[in-house]
Chain A
Amino acid sequence: MFSRLASDAEMEKRKADEFEPGPASPLKPVDRFGFVKQDQNNSLEAKNRPNEVEREESRIRKWRKMIGVGGSDWKHYVRRKPHVVRRRIRKGIPDCLRGLVWQLISGSRGLLLMNPGVYEQLVIYETSASELDIIRDISRTFPSHVFFQQRHGPGQRSLYNVLKAYSVYDRDVGYVQGMGFLAGLLLLYMSEEDAFWLLVALLKGAVHAPMEGLYQVGLPLVQQYLFQFEQLVKEHLPKLGQHFSEEMINPSMYASQWFITVYSYSFPFPLALRIWDVFLYEGVKIVFQVGLALLTVCQNNLLKLGFEKLIHALRNFPEEAMDPEKLLPLSFSIKVTKRLEELKQEYEKQHGTSLAQFTSSSKPLKSLQSPAKPSND
């Protein structure tokens, strides 16, 4: 009875917090990334360790040298020492340089420079069929981050603009739930226009294979990734794979959002960032590797669970399993590149030309270089 009363009181408090108008109260403690703190003792916060600050500063110096003024030395460095770059990215891009580096490694910088004025055109002059859908989700995207909390505040406005611009830029894709988390994550590190072009670079494939199939009708790329992931689980973790089939668990029940939002939907932010560092440089295989690493870490526990507890566990990994310092090294050690390619071909064979059809119907990235023509359909 007593605990019930306590929870009622808690509810009242929560309600009161909810109806507080205007920007988030400055009294609310936020973590180093700007999220309102849920619990005070965040064990994953790096700042507690004393020599961490010093090490961080020396890393930043190295990174600055590698990038050069405004990114001038970057291309040269990457060509000369790709392995050094990869190693450093895997250790995590310094937070203060993250936005810039993400643009350099994703190829979005180039797109931005080649398409002056295009973003503005899309935001100001075009109308999108998805506007209402976007508005409905704006306040539901990273609601616990100070930048996005204020109704109609700068965070929500830029999020709307980026999503609207993209929905006009590629009307086949339009707006799909999940894209908001990608855009939101990017907006914490760069301007609207930069975030937009990074989204374009990812979905149209500036450096890696295009990922627009994640959001096209039928979610063809999600289906392919889920197929590949299911096979990889069976191959890398046969016992668990067997257990999943016995319990009738398939990856669409737990892993769809891993792929659709590249871990930006419900994973701890510090982990999501570290995954994104690698994702933008090395491509989507890291999403598979992290997924397999998570299952590996939790395997012994998962093997004991029946359907319901299993599916709950797969959506709520323990905090210690999501420590980037442990999870990422394990992820890198899981080799998937060759099998991913083979499984992709297998999937395409099984599903005819479906995926090829989808990709051929959409604009290739090359057409980007000409300014977007106003389309009045």
Chain B
Amino acid sequence: MGSSSGFGSGHDYSFKILIIGDSGVGKSSLLVSFISNHVDDLAPTIGVDFKIKHLTVGGKKLKLTIWDTAGQEKFRTLTSSYFRNAQGIILVYDVTQRETFTNLFEVWAKEVELYSTNQDCIKMLVANKVDKESERVVTKEEGIAFAKEYGCVFLECSAKTRENVEKCFNELAYKILEVPSLLEEGSTVVKNTILKQKQERQASAGGGCCS
């Protein structure tokens, strides 16, 4: 039981995670399922939403700042700026809707390439709604193949039954912890130093020096 939700500042690392994918694939449900252990029918996300989760992975206390985005194409002008500085990106598709899978090639992989500022950022491919096995049209093998081609971690899960939901976020966090550059970005110590520098700069900027 390493995870707990709610606010608090006692963490070693803080990471920014972004969830993307077509409308209706269950991005918000996945997040709500992870945060609060149950899923109601959710209204479509308008613009962006945001949740915090504290968890412990590999003995490290982590804080995940998770940005949930609207999937509809028109909202991309609002959501694209949220790719910046993300250490982890979760791409979600619905195994019962083929188009949500093909749009990963057509749309979402390109969005990541275009807007993600982080070379080492961990990408995770999540196949959602596996509880609807009888309606499945995208096979697990296809998911694995995509994940391999685009260098993603892959998991099949169900926000509804919570199958693999915690694993999804835990594994993503685990992978991020393995990358030194991401670790450095997420380190609280480093962040505080940067903040201090920023404040000092601001203070001195008041004296008329800025570049």
Contact = CB atoms under 8 A, between A and B. Distances in A.
B51 to A, nearest CB: 9
B37 A133 contact: no
A265 B42 CA distance: 12
6 contacts: A11-B38, A137-B44, A141-B43, A178-B44, A257-B46, A265-B43
A82 interface: no
A219 B74 contact: yes
Interface in B154-178: none
Contact of B46 (A18, A260, A312): A260
B146 to A, nearest CB: 23
Contact of B38 (A14, A219, A252, A261): A14
A100 interface: no
A209 B47 CA distance: 23
B66 to A, nearest CB: 11
A309 B75 contact: no
Q: Max chain A CB contacts within 10 Å: which of B23, B65, B74, B77?
A: B74
B50 A177 contact: no
Contacts of B70: 177
B210 to A, nearest CB: 15
B72 A219 contact: no
Interface string A221-256: 011000000000000000000000000000011001
A257 B74 CA distance: 14
B52 interface: yes
Say what secondary structure dominates the interface of chain A.
helix
Nearest to A178: B46
A15 B142 CA distance: 32
Nearest to A257: B46
Given A133-B23, A253-B48, A265-B46, A140 B77 contact: no
B41 interface: yes
Nearest to A308: B52
A136 B38 contact: no
Q: Max chain A CB contacts within 10 Å: which of B45, B52, B78?
A: B78
Contacts of B81: 252
Interface in A152-193: 176-178, 180
Interface in A280-298: none
A143 B43 contact: yes
Interface residues of B, number: 25
A364 interface: no
B37 A140 contact: no
Interface string A48-78: 0000000000000000000000000000000
Contact of A140 (B42, B49, B72): B42
Nearest to A11: B38
A311 interface: yes
The 7 closest A-B pairs by CB, nearest first: A256-B47, A257-B46, A177-B44, A136-B24, A177-B72, A218-B77, A11-B38
Interface of B: 7, 23-24, 37-38, 40-50, 52, 65, 70, 72, 74-75, 77-78, 81
Interface string A293-310: 000000000000000110
A361 interface: no
Chain A interface size band reads 35 or more
Contacts of B77: 218-219, 223
B40 A14 contact: yes
A252 B43 contact: no
Contacts of A311: 50
Contacts of B49: 315
B188 to A, nearest CB: 13
Nearest to B70: A177
Nearest to A218: B77
A375 to B, nearest CB: 21
A215 interface: yes
A253 B68 CA distance: 11
Contacts of A11: 37-38
A7 interface: yes
Given A140-B41, A143-B43, A252 B74 contact: no
A213 B38 CA distance: 37
Nearest to B28: A140
Interface string A100-134: 00000000000000000000000000000000010
Given A253-B48, A256-B46, A143 B41 contact: yes
A132 to B, nearest CB: 9
A253 B43 contact: no
A257 B47 contact: yes
Interface in A198-220: 215-219
Nearest to A135: B24
A256 B40 contact: no
Contact of A308 (B45, B65, B75): B65
Given A178-B44, A219-B78, 9 more contacts: A14-B38, A137-B24, A177-B70, A177-B72, A177-B74, A260-B46, A260-B47, A309-B7, A315-B50
A180 B49 CA distance: 18
Given A11-B37, A140-B43, A143-B43, A256 B48 contact: yes
Contacts of B52: 308, 312
B93 to A, nearest CB: 14
